[in-house]
Chain A
Amino acid sequence: LFVVIEMIMNYLLGAFKPACNISITFSDGKNRKQVPMKKENGQTDLVPLFQSQETLSGKVCIEPYQGKKVEHNGVKVELLGQIEICCPVSELLMAFVFSTEMYFDRGNFYDFTSLVRELDVRNYAPPPPINNSIKMEVGIEDCLHIEFEYNKSKYHLKDVILGKIYFLLVRIKMKNMDLEIRRRESTGAGANTHVETETLAKFELMDGTPVRGESIPVRLFLAPYDLTPTHRNINNKFSVKYYLNLVLVDEEDRRYFKQQEITLYRLKEDTSS
């Protein structure tokens, strides 16, 4: 998810050329951490990074072009969040002032533009107090019976998924076994709900057919993948969920899979990194 802070002038609305040049500088602009952000046109831009609960302070500079004058009834600074959703829902623009909280993060299909200035806002979370492992037995009768275990149910974005797959019964010839990370994003509500799923990682865990009793280790580093934290039902408008999908492929290319949701969160990074 992605947040925009936008300054809206009263002169706006595109039929006219702007009569002035508006620039914003943040008071700690030189020291603030900047992160790259992909724009619609594919180029990346560096944008300053803010956390929620932070205070924005700085200067807005309005310079009229030569020979032009700007009339105004005062300057109002608004912080605007934008969730941009492509088809099929027509553009949805939400603007609101963040007074105390900014909890939107950057997503993929709700790319975000700013007329004036873009900021990246990230929410950091402490490690969850309860973090159980995921353990489950699944199978197809008389054919395949496995038990898998992932060490946690909540992972931070640079975490590593550890676990093992234990084969209790194997009657099919397998080609390989992959662990996939899938992201499921949903927007809208009710009948207008739009869901999109994407496989972000396809990580081969096993090559060949194991025999009964074999246990295959899982070790998947999340860092190399472009992941974001899980969001559930933000403003009743959208959700981002992550799943681990264990896929077994047999020699006839049939796929057997089991999907398990995991929660991703962003751990407070060291200041050094």
Chain B
Amino acid sequence: MIADGAGEDEEKWLAAGAAAFKQNAFYMQRAIDSNNLKDALKYSAQMLSELRTSKLSPHKYYDLYMRAFDELRKLEIFFMEETRRGCSVIELYELVQHAGNILPRLYLLCTAGSVYIKTKEAPAKEILKDLVEMCRGIQHPLRGLFLRSYLAQISRDKLPDIGSEYEGDADTVTDAVEFVLLNFTEMNKLWVRMQHQGPARDKEKREKERSELRDLVGKNLHVLSQLEGVDLDMYRDTVLPRVLEQIVNCRDEIAQYYLMDCIIQVFPDEYHLQTLDVLLGACPQLQPSVDIMTVLSRLMERLSSYAALNTEVLPYFLQVEAFSKLNNAIGKVIEAQEDMPILSAVTLYSSLLKFTLHVHPDRLDYADQVLGSCIKQLSGKGKIHDTRATKELVTLLSAPLEKYNDVVIALKLTNYPLVLDYLDSENKRVMATVIIRSIMKNKTIIATAEKVEALLELIKGLINDLDEPQGLEVDEDDFEEEQNSVARLIHMLYSDDPEEMVKIISVLKNHFLTGGPKRLKFTIPPLVVSALKLIRRLPEEGDNPFGKEASVSATKIFQFLNQIIEALPSAPSPDLAFRLYLQCAEAANKCDEEPIAYEFFTQAYILYEEEISDSKAQVTALQLIIGTLQRMHVFGVENRDTLTHKAMGYSAKLLKKPDQCRAVYTCSHLFWLEDHETIQDGERVLRCLKRALKIANSAQQMTSAARGSTGSVTLFIEILNKYLYFYEKGIPQVTVESVESMIQLIKNEESLTSDPSAESFFASTLRFMEFQKQKGGVVGDRYEQIKV
């Protein structure tokens, strides 16, 4: 309410001021039109008196100021004309100083001074010096700022700069610089003083008002940067020290922050590079509350992009030791600002790291140094919990990955994992994901166990639970996503050297086994695959001159595999371990490792018996067993018999009849392995088929008994297909008669016609037989004999 009231009042005051202003401006114009200098001065002074108000906020005051500015332009033109008409400019310069009130007087003086400089009746530097001195009379911050800003405005094009028409005989650019510096200093003092005026409760409002005015002050620095005469020497020897002196001495947070930033933005990068010492030296002297981190970050950003755009300046960066200076400066700033938030420190180092990565990509030691300094700051503070700070830390850690696109480089940074350690578990996971993504994106192959070890250290947030309480329950989907990425990563850890590869795998094993059951199901399979791949690459046993003495032997890897699969939890998905065992068995088969293969099978069987109880799962598992076993040629008769016998047993014990039937006829394949004469037992094949047929019969009877209808003939047709298969292979025990009687059996089934799918299945089987017959040759001959 109060504020609103004030706002309304302010509007009123502005309106009143503007009205009085307008009126006097009108009279002034009339005096100008009639060439009446005396009246023009009188009314302009009255008009300018409106600027004496203390009632307006900076925003509204600016409104009034702009009107004054416009009117004073007209007056200036009139002054100029007056001097052409013979009025002495010196007299004019005195005349305006007769005004009793100081503010109008000084506005008029500046205006007359502008004309004075233009007439060149006195050196510009003298007049400027007089003006900037006289302006000291305004000690009111707001009014002083605007007056001096007017002075800056009118003097901008009249500075005795090099190449300017107002340049004097010798070294007048110094005067130009001196003038701007003085005006800048005074303006800054006034601006800072605003902070300390009025009641403390209006602090926020005041700071807002001040920030509205900051560009008036900063403009001076801009003017300085535009001066032709401000070369590197001038900048280093005069401009920068003087500006910094003012910045440091004003001891004002807002001013220091803004002006430091101003310096960095308005002057050329080249200057910054050459004056880094000085610029950085000022930083620790600033108020502790100054957001120095942003200032320095911007400086480093600017220098980085400068280096990026102008590669030819890189030697200068080295020459001036930009990196170590920045590093030192940051250290000092942090030291000076005791209660600097961790976020600021991290941001600083993050910027510095980016800087060094850009400017000195070849100096990995620099990057490591930055990380080292960062650790020094973080040490003793425990894990960081400020979310913004951790985010920044993630950015910092991501920077080397982004720059080099090669995680191997990051692995060389010894301090890298130490910094990472300061992240909480959640952010460690984030960081790990970033690292993995980088590896995947760049297809970085990590080829030594040592590096793998280091990498796992970095991504340990994903590998295990980090022995600390989980802050938040990790989202199931996220967890899966993360673990999948770890799984993908495993394929990037690869060495052509089997010995090294074994090391890599065992490193992985050691780490993964700490991950807990939730992770293992994601990490073990790819590890197994990776190990199996290795086995495949191993030279044949016979080719190896060192035989089993070689450090890398398939046997060892198999032992290892056994260990890791054992670690897989049986619940909730025993089939995973089951499948892996079978896969390993198959690999062992290829290596002719009978005992190992047998062991794997045994493990698979145990799992089947103890863990797989779901009938559907049993069916699938059994199919896998049979499929795998069928291809095994490594087993001796005895072992094979044991295993087949078991498989047969499992088949017969399946719950559902059709499942039983199918399993049993599938088992028939176990006794007939092409190209392996030792495993060709037609007798037992036939026995299997007959048994399947028997089960099929009883299955049909059961359905008709239970449901009152005859069951499907599909099973019969399937068995027929098996018959045909073995018949075609030429197994003597499978005779033409047995095939024919099978066909006859199906044809006699009355339910055949009531089941369209079975009917078409049968039809296509017959078509197949016809097709094989047409083919001719040995197979065709065999089919020829079958009478349908």
Q: Which residues of A contact B (CB under 8 A)?
A: 174, 176, 201-211, 214-217, 219, 221, 223-224
Do residues B143 and A207 form an inter-chain contact, with CB atoms below 8 A?
Answer: yes
Q: How many residues of B contact A (CB 8 A)?
A: 21
Chain A residue nearest to B144 in the complex (CB): A208
What's the least CB distance linking B747 to chain A, in Å?
118
Do residues A206 and B98 form an inter-chain contact, with CB atoms below 8 A?
Answer: no
Chain B residue nearest to A203 in the complex (CB): B100
Q: Please name all residues of chain A whose beta carbon is closer than 8 Å to the beta carbon of B189 when the two chains form the complex.
A: 211
Do residues A217 and B137 form an inter-chain contact, with CB atoms below 8 A?
Answer: yes
Do residues B136 and A219 form an inter-chain contact, with CB atoms below 8 A?
Answer: no
Chain A residue nearest to B137 in the complex (CB): A206
A216 to B143, CA, bound (A): 16
A215 to B136, CA, bound (A): 7
Do residues A211 and B136 form an inter-chain contact, with CB atoms below 8 A?
Answer: no
Do residues B94 and A208 form an inter-chain contact, with CB atoms below 8 A?
Answer: no
Q: Could you give, for residues 94-105 of chain B, a 1 whenever the CB lies within 8 Å of some chain A CB and a 0 otherwise?
A: 100110111101
Q: Please name all residues of chain B whose beta carbon is closer than 8 Å to the beta carbon of A176 when the two chains form the complex.
A: 102
Do residues A221 and B140 form an inter-chain contact, with CB atoms below 8 A?
Answer: no
Q: Please name all residues of chain B whose beta carbon is closer than 8 Å to the beta carbon of A223 when the two chains form the complex.
A: 98
Do residues B101 and A208 form an inter-chain contact, with CB atoms below 8 A?
Answer: no
Do residues A221 and B136 form an inter-chain contact, with CB atoms below 8 A?
Answer: no
Q: Please name all residues of chain B whose beta carbon is closer than 8 Å to the beta carbon of A205 when the two chains form the complex.
A: 102, 137
**Interface majority SS (helix, strand, loop, mixed), chain A:** strand
Say yes or no: is B19 at the interface (Cβ < 8 Å to chain A): no
Q: Please name all residues of chain B whose beta carbon is closer than 8 Å to the beta carbon of A209 when the two chains form the complex.
A: 139-140
A248 to B136, CA, bound (A): 16
Give the 9 A-B CB pairs with smallest separation, nearest first. A208-B140, A208-B139, A204-B102, A210-B139, A224-B98, A207-B138, A207-B140, A204-B101, A206-B137
The residue among A204, A207, A223 with the most chain B CB atoms within 10 A of its own CB is A207
Task: Report if A207-B136 is in contact (Cβ < 8 Å); known contacts: A221-B94, A221-B98.
Answer: no
A214 to B136, CA, bound (A): 8
What's the least CB distance linking A58 to chain B, in Å?
37
Chain B residue nearest to A208 in the complex (CB): B140
Do residues B98 and A207 form an inter-chain contact, with CB atoms below 8 A?
Answer: no
Q: Please name all residues of chain B whose beta carbon is closer than 8 Å to the beta carbon of A203 when the two chains form the complex.
A: 100
Do residues A204 and B100 form an inter-chain contact, with CB atoms below 8 A?
Answer: yes
Do residues A207 and B94 form an inter-chain contact, with CB atoms below 8 A?
Answer: no
What's the least CB distance linking A10 to chain B, in Å?
50
Task: Report if A207-B102 is in contact (Cβ < 8 Å); known contacts: A219-B97, A221-B94, A221-B97.
Answer: yes
A134 to B143, CA, bound (A): 31
Residue contacts A-B, CB under 8 angstroms, 13 given: A176-B102, A204-B101, A204-B102, A206-B137, A207-B103, A207-B140, A209-B140, A210-B139, A216-B139, A217-B133, A219-B134, A221-B97, A224-B98
Q: Please name all residues of chain A whose beta carbon is closer than 8 Å to the beta carbon of B139 when the two chains form the complex.
A: 174, 206-211, 214, 216
Say yes or no: is B193 at the interface (Cβ < 8 Å to chain A): yes
What's the least CB distance linking A222 to chain B, in Å?
10
The residue among B133, B136, B137 with the most chain A CB atoms within 10 A of its own CB is B137
What's the least CB distance linking A265 to chain B, in Å?
21
A206 to B193, CA, bound (A): 16
Q: Please name all residues of chain A whose beta carbon is closer than 8 Å to the beta carbon of B134 when the two chains form the complex.
A: 217, 219
Q: Which residues B18-57 have CB closer than 8 A to chain A?
A: 52
Q: Please name all residues of chain A whose beta carbon is closer than 8 Å to the beta carbon of B98 when the two chains form the complex.
A: 221, 223-224
What's the least CB distance linking B88 to chain A, in Å?
13
Say yes or no: is B711 at the interface (Cβ < 8 Å to chain A): no
Task: Report if A208-B100 is in contact (Cβ < 8 Å); known contacts: A215-B136, A216-B136, A216-B137.
Answer: no
Q: 19 more A-B contacts (CB under 8 A) besides A207-B143, A211-B139, A216-B137?
A: A201-B100, A203-B100, A204-B101, A204-B102, A204-B137, A205-B102, A206-B139, A207-B52, A207-B140, A208-B138, A209-B139, A209-B140, A214-B136, A214-B139, A216-B139, A217-B134, A221-B98, A223-B98, A224-B98
Chain B residue nearest to A174 in the complex (CB): B139
Q: Please name all residues of chain B whose beta carbon is closer than 8 Å to the beta carbon of A215 when the two chains form the complex.
A: 136
Say yes or no: is B141 at the interface (Cβ < 8 Å to chain A): yes
Q: Please name all residues of chain B whose beta carbon is closer than 8 Å to the beta carbon of A204 when the two chains form the complex.
A: 100-102, 105, 137
Q: Please name all residues of chain A whose beta carbon is closer than 8 Å to the beta carbon of B138 when the two chains form the complex.
A: 206-208
A204 to B140, CA, bound (A): 13
Chain A residue nearest to B141 in the complex (CB): A208
Chain A residue nearest to B52 in the complex (CB): A207
Q: Please name all residues of chain B whose beta carbon is closer than 8 Å to the beta carbon of A201 when the two chains form the complex.
A: 100
Choose among A206, A211, A214 the residue that contacts B102 (Cβ–Cβ < 8 A): A206
A204 to B94, CA, bound (A): 16
A210 to B133, CA, bound (A): 15
A128 to B137, CA, bound (A): 31
Q: Please name all residues of chain A whose beta carbon is closer than 8 Å to the beta carbon of B100 when the two chains form the complex.
A: 201-204
A221 to B91, CA, bound (A): 12
Q: Could you give, for residues 189-202 of chain B, a 1 whenever the CB lies within 8 Å of some chain A CB and a 0 otherwise?
A: 10001000000000
Q: Please name all residues of chain B whose beta carbon is closer than 8 Å to the beta carbon of A206 when the two chains form the complex.
A: 102, 137-139
Q: Please name all residues of chain B whose beta carbon is closer than 8 Å to the beta carbon of A207 when the two chains form the complex.
A: 52, 102-103, 137-140, 143-144
Q: Please name all residues of chain A whose beta carbon is closer than 8 Å to the beta carbon of B143 when the two chains form the complex.
A: 207-208
A176 to B105, CA, bound (A): 14
What's the least CB distance linking A122 to chain B, in Å?
23
Task: Report if A211-B193 is in contact (Cβ < 8 Å); known contacts: A204-B102, A224-B98.
Answer: yes
Chain B residue nearest to A210 in the complex (CB): B139
